[in-house]
Amino acid sequence: MIDVEDLIALVRNYNPRTNADLIRLAYAYGLAMHEGQFRKSGEPYFTHPVAVAAILTEQRLDDATIITALLHDTIEDTRSTYSDITAQFGAEVAELVDGVTKLTNLQLSSTESQQAENFRKLFMAMSKDLRVILVKLADRLHNMRTIKSMRVEKQAQKARETMEIYAPLAGRMGMQWMREELEDLSFKVLNPDARNSIIRRFLTLQRESGDVVHKITADIRNELEKVQIEATVYGRAKKPYSIWRKMQEKDLAFSRLSDIYGFRIICDSLPDCYRILGVIHQRWRAVPGRFKDYLSQPKNNGYRSIHTTVSGRDGKRVEVQIRTREMHEVAEAGVAAHWAYREGVRTQNPFAIDPGKWINSLTERFGEGDHDEFLEHVKLEMYSDQVFCFTPKGDVVQLPRGATPLDYAYSIHTRIGNSCVSAKVDGIRVPLWTRLKNGQSVEIITAEGQRPQSSWIDIVTTGRAKAAIRKSLREEDRGRFIKLGQELARAAFDHVGKKATEKALRTAAKMLGLNDEQDMLARLGSAELTARRVVEALYPELAREDLDVVDASRPVLGLQDDQAFRRAPCCQPVPGERIVGITYRGKGIVAHAIDCPALAEFEEQTERWVDLSWHAGRHAAVHTISFELTIANDAGVLGRICTLIGEQKANISDLRFTDRKPDFYRLVIDVDLRDVEHLHMVMTALEAETDVAQVSRHRDLARKP
């Protein structure tokens, strides 16, 4: 464990004016509070807070943050209280410790709905003081460095959470070094064989070609000395997880993977950056399409640098990053550079981004909206890299990597996105699903009357575009639901001998406590309300008469006492649909839907036709219907489908897959229903689910009686 004087020495390296006495007091207080507590490894528990504080000294953070690291588990794990911390260390430290405690208690890898709300709380805490998340990230980093002492299943759970949440968050905050280490530590737990394989291949490559990093670093230094540019050159092999991700994304073997080495050139001034770029491109051949200028167009987290990839020694591709020393500080510390100290005073780094603006950029336009949309937006923002496109007037638009002309249109204005019909990129008309690249000029072509299509959800990548499209589709669905509700209301009123007049519907809506008849019809069409309830609101006596339960063994009229009855398996008619009976020798009467294609073969055998109709009343949910669905191949989709059907009070009696593809499944689900109204309710609920691409009634003529 690091001694308190050694910790103070680490702080004094960048902040000679540190309050050493307060750090000693915090160290002694934390040591006393955690007395008798041990980590899974058997070490005294206080070794962990001290290690977290040491990690934060590497980012040259202020005394309050270092002291918070020493005390960050005291409120949660010891008898210490918020009041105790306030009394001894002040309100600022107490607020920070309390904030870290609340973050620790958030289950960020919980269910989707809980995760969305917890992410919202996370960003609320960050918006109050971003140093809270800096302590939490350092806490997670040390826990991942010492994860081997945990149970195997707990290691996997923590590693997945780190890979999915904390590593991208560190990257989005500009702390790329921390992101890479968190990813690699998680990779070591989740896929140790793959990681070891990459390390072995690296060792083999070094034996075959020598120390490539040292050779290329020397080559770059020699070229810079020739033109008398002072700069520091660093070279390294990329992290195993970074290489593994590229292998997966590009579907390449290790031997075919290029640019596995990265080099940084740190210079004194902005003009030197561009001079160095010229030197590099004169000496080595630049790889087309692999140049990014984040000096003129910085990333949202303040990152500035020139990136270029060249064919270096022996034809090996290497990535070169060029930036000034101040830019490098931001590249290393990210948003944390806002609090960095040097010589006892806060560093005035002109490139350090204001944390408040950063938080606002991450959560803009997402106030109290839909939790799932908020979560999706935040995750997209955390994982995104940037591309920069130009408007026809030359203005710059920042978009995440993988963005399309539709994302661009919605970033300009929701109205532009909703009415978009096509786009021109660099003057050439392109499909709306085209992925935009840096430096392209984009022109959007709109048309009056155009509305967003459901397929657009899969085309766009930004949270703003997805939210706008879903909102428009919901409004469009409302119109469709109203039409369906009108038909269901008309059928229900006809069933009791009444007319579904505008006045009757308006009165029913009022009696049900709804805004107006349009609201009621929309709820009726979307299966939030049943037609029976609407009828009951106006005609309770008629509705009660209609509630007589029909005998499930004799649900139709027109049968003789000795005649057996069953539904045709080919068309599966349900109560409320017009039917006709066909006599089969030894099988009794089989009821077909009036539009069943199988009836064509009996056109010349009229003596076998029997006039049937369904009994009026409430039928039992015993009439099996087969639905054919095409659904997204994604986690949790099938579960949501089954839940939706259950919510409509329908029972699934069988389920079978007919086709499996990487991006979708086709399946047939057998559901037991009451009548045609019940059928419409289930189909409407399924059609409204975004992960259901297609739903239809499955009729199999091969299953003739």
Query: Would you state the pLDDT for residue 110?
Result: 46
Highest mean pLDDT among 136-145, 197-206, 525-534 belongs to: 136-145
Rounded CA separation 665/691 (Å): 11
Rounded CA separation 162/241 (Å): 13
Q: Is the pLDDT of residue 138 over 50?
A: yes
pLDDT category at 383 given cuts 50, 70, 90 is very low
- Beta-carbon count within 10 A of 399 CB: 21
Q: Is the pLDDT of residue 204 over 70?
A: yes
Q: Is the pLDDT of residue 379 over 80?
A: no
More confident residue, 123 or 129: 129
Q: Give the tens place of pLDDT for each residue, 30-53.
A: 999 999 998 888 889 999 999 999
Q: Answer yes or no: 77 catalytic.
A: yes
Among candidate residues 81, 52, 161, 82, the one with its CA nearest the CA of residue 115: 161
More confident residue, 575 or 251: 575
More confident residue, 449 or 361: 449
> Any bridge partners for residue 342, and if so which?
345
| CA 537 to chain CA mean position, Å | 43
Q: Is the pLDDT of residue 113 over 70?
A: no
Highest mean pLDDT among 437-441, 478-482, 590-594, 601-605 belongs to: 590-594
Calculate mean pLDDT across residues 446-470. 83
Calculate mean pLDDT across residues 658-676. 87
Q: Answer yes or no: 376 catalytic.
A: no
DSSP structure class, residue 345: E
Q: Is the pLDDT of residue 406 over 90?
A: yes
Among candidate residues 687, 688, 703, the one with its CA nearest the CA of residue 628: 687
Q: Where are the beta strands (DSSP E) in 177-326?
A: 231-237, 261-267, 285-286, 292-293, 306-311, 317-324
Residue ranges of alpha helices (H) inside 334-402 are 355-363, 371-383
Calculate mean pLDDT across residues 672-687. 84
Among candidate residues 428, 410, 427, the one with its CA nearest the CA of residue 419: 410
More confident residue, 617 or 56: 56
pLDDT category at 618 given cuts 50, 70, 90 is confident
Quote the Cα angle for 414-470-697, to 5°: 145
DSSP structure class, residue 390: E
Residue 131: both structure tokens together: 């140093």
User: Domain 4-190: what homologous superfamily?
Assistant: Hypothetical protein af1432 (1.10.3210.10)
Query: Would you state the pLDDT for residue 202?
Result: 74
Q: Give the tens place of pLDDT for each residue, 619-632.
A: 888 899 999 999 88
Percentage of the chain beyond pLDDT 70 is: 84
Task: Indicate the domain borders of the chain.
Answer: 4-190, 194-346, 471-545, 548-705
> Any bridge partners for residue 44, and if so which?
38
Calculate mean pLDDT across residues 422-439. 87
Query: Would you state the pLDDT for residue 334?
Result: 72
Residue 96 parent element (H or E): helix 91-105
Rounded CA separation 425/437 (Å): 10
Q: Is the pLDDT of residue 573 over 90?
A: yes
Q: At how many degrees (to 10) do helices 676-688 and 463-495 cross?
A: 170
Calculate mean pLDDT across residues 10-24. 90
Measure Cα distances from 702 to 534, 570, 705 in Å.
40, 7, 9
User: Domain 548-705: what homologous superfamily?
Assistant: ACT domain (3.30.70.260)
Burial of 261 (0-12, 13-18, 19+ CB in 10 A): buried
Q: What's the N-to-C CA distance of the chain in angstroms?
A: 80
What mean pLDDT is reported for the chain? 81
Place of tokens 């469709």: 480
Query: Would you state the pLDDT for residue 286?
Result: 86
- Beta-carbon count within 10 A of 645 CB: 19
Q: What is the DSSP string of 557-605?
A: ES--TT--EEE-TTT---TTS-EEEEEETTTEEEEEETT-GGGGGGTT-
Out of 5, 58, 73, 77, the active site residue is 77
Rounded CA separation 601/217 (Å): 84
Query: Fold identical between 4-190 and 194-346?
Result: no
DSSP structure class, residue 674: S
More confident residue, 639 or 475: 639
Calculate mean pLDDT across residues 211-231. 89
Out of 43, 58, 63, 76, the active site residue is 76
> Any bridge partners for residue 590, and if so which?
566, 582
Place of tokens 């998340």: 133
Q: Is the pLDDT of residue 434 over 80?
A: yes
Query: Would you state the pLDDT for residue 112?
Result: 47
Q: Is the pLDDT of residue 529 over 60?
A: yes
Q: Is the pLDDT of residue 667 over 60?
A: yes
Q: Is the pLDDT of residue 279 over 50?
A: yes
Rounded CA separation 35/567 (Å): 75
CATH (one of 3.30.460.10, 3.40.50.1970, 3.30.70.260, 1.10.3720.10) for 194-346: 3.30.460.10
Query: Would you state the pLDDT for residue 89?
Result: 92
Q: Give the tens place of pLDDT for each residue, 556-567.
A: 888 887 788 889
Query: Would you state the pLDDT for residue 366?
Result: 45
Query: Would you state the pLDDT for residue 368?
Result: 43
Place of tokens 């920069």: 388
Rounded CA separation 315/255 (Å): 13
Torsion 183-189-194-196 (CA) sign: positive
Q: What is the chain's alpha carbon radius of gyration, rounded to the nearest angstrom?
A: 33
Place of tokens 């919980």: 110
Q: Pairing state of beta strands 623-632 and 565-567?
A: unpaired
